[in-house]
Amino acid sequence: MKFSEADHSSGYRIDSYGAGWIGLAGRCYTESLILTPTTIITPWEPVSLAALRPQHLTPLVDLAPHVVLIGSGEAPALLDVALYAPLLAAGIGVEVMTTAAACRTYNILMAEGRTVAAGLIVHPSAPHSI
């Protein structure tokens, strides 16, 4: 497979990811985080989708993106609409998907110049290596 060199001049791009980690800006993150092209907020408290509470989404609302991606961890899941109602009330689109899918989607939207934020859940006990 042909690889191209990552260009971080347009913002934070996810370099790699796996079970229990995300490679970003030359560093391996092993805890949940919030990411935009210009901001990394870590740690982000939820360690699982079941632990996600409305107050965890406040920093995402404050960033005022057009779309928020919620990375649910290893397994696909759905959220109760009441949980992310503050995002919808602010006119922010929300997509929930596995963290791996959210990493890929984030990079695509960022490359398109979209105003995107991602709340990426990383399960702390998952093994990791880069």
Tell me what pLDDT residue 77 has.
87
Tell me what pLDDT residue 41 has.
97
> pTM of the full predicted structure?
0.87
pLDDT in tens, 105-115: 999 999 999 99
**Cα dihedral 41→39→100→14 (10° resolution):** -130
Q: State percent of the chain over pLDDT 70.
A: 88
Note every long-range contact of 106-114, with CB atoms under 8 Å and residues 24 or more positions apart, other chains counting.
106/14, 106/35, 106/69, 107/13, 107/14, 109/67, 109/69, 110/10, 110/11, 110/12, 110/13, 110/37, 111/10, 111/13, 113/10, 114/66, 114/67
pLDDT in tens, 21-50: 999 989 999 999 999 999 999 999 999 989
CA distance 48 to 87: 19
Superfamily of 30-120 according to CATH? MTH938-like (3.40.1230.10)
